[in-house]
């Protein structure tokens, strides 16, 4: 075997190992999002048992966990997925949000979107915008939630639910969120 063939064989072997490692990493990250989603769904069902039937009847749902901080200006980010109940397909997504107003806090928040129509779910997956004007006062620790939140969403044909898992947040703010497909996990 010539040295050149040896190098080509070595490069091919490294490429295959790298591809396997990336596939394993992708599967591990998908499993992590699934685990987080299942835990969040259990908390939503515990807080509102009627959601279990609503989610089962819906065309699909989206679940996201975000981490954020705010002091006049706020920001948060996180991951989640949209599940199509008909096809059983998951679309892995990311979320980013920004807000401004009289606000103070840091929190881990879980959001649930229960889609009323397949078109609303598909629009969310493809364009994923939500705009909010919100008054919030919430506290949560160790999976417990207390407090209230009031907001208006630009997304029609979906019910939105929020739990503050950990942290404390209060204020009056205007903000927006962007949801998009995670190109690395789909």
pTM of the predicted protein model: 0.75
Residue 53 domain-assigned (yes or no)? yes
Cα separations (Å) of 162 from 26, 27, 31, 84, 89?
28, 27, 23, 20, 23
- Could you tell me whether strands 129-141 and 90-115 are parallel, antiparallel, or unpaired per DSSP bridges? unpaired
Residue 32 domain-assigned (yes or no)? no
Residue 78 domain-assigned (yes or no)? yes
Is the distance from CB of 164 to CB of 138 less than 8 angstroms? yes
Residue 25 domain-assigned (yes or no)? no
- How do residues 55-106 score in pLDDT, each as one tens digit? 999 999 999 999 888 787 888 889 999 999 999 999 999 999 888 877 777 8
pLDDT at 20: 42
Domain limits for position 74: 46-181
At 147, which CATH number?
2.40.128
Residue 27: pLDDT band (50, 70, 90) is very high
Number of domain units in the chain: 1
The two tokens of residue 146 are 């207390």
Residue 118 domain-assigned (yes or no)? yes
pLDDT at 19: 40
């Amino acid at each position: 075997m010539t040295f050149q063939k040896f190098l080509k064989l070595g490069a091919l072997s490294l490429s295959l190992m790298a591809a396997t490692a990336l596939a394993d990493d992708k599967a591990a990250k998908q499993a992590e999002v699934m685990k987080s989603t299942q835990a969040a769904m259990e908390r939503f069902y515990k807080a509102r048992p009627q959601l279990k039937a609503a989610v089962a009847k819906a065309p699909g749902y989206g679940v996201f966990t975000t981490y954020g901080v705010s002091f006049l200006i706020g920001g948060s980010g996180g991951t989640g997925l949209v599940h199509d109940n008909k096809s059983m397909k998951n679309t892995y997504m990311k979320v980013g949000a920004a807000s401004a107003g009289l606000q103070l806090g840091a929190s881990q928040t879980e959001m649930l979107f229960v889609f009323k129509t397949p078109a609303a779910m598909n629009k969310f997956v493809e364009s994923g915008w939500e705009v909010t004007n919100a008054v919030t006062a919430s506290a949560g620790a160790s999976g417990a939630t207390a407090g209230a939140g009031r907001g208006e969403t630009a997304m029609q044909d979906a019910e939105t639910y929020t739990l503050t898992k950990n942290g404390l947040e209060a204020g009056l703010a205007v903000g927006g969120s962007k949801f998009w497909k995670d190109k690395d996990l789909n």
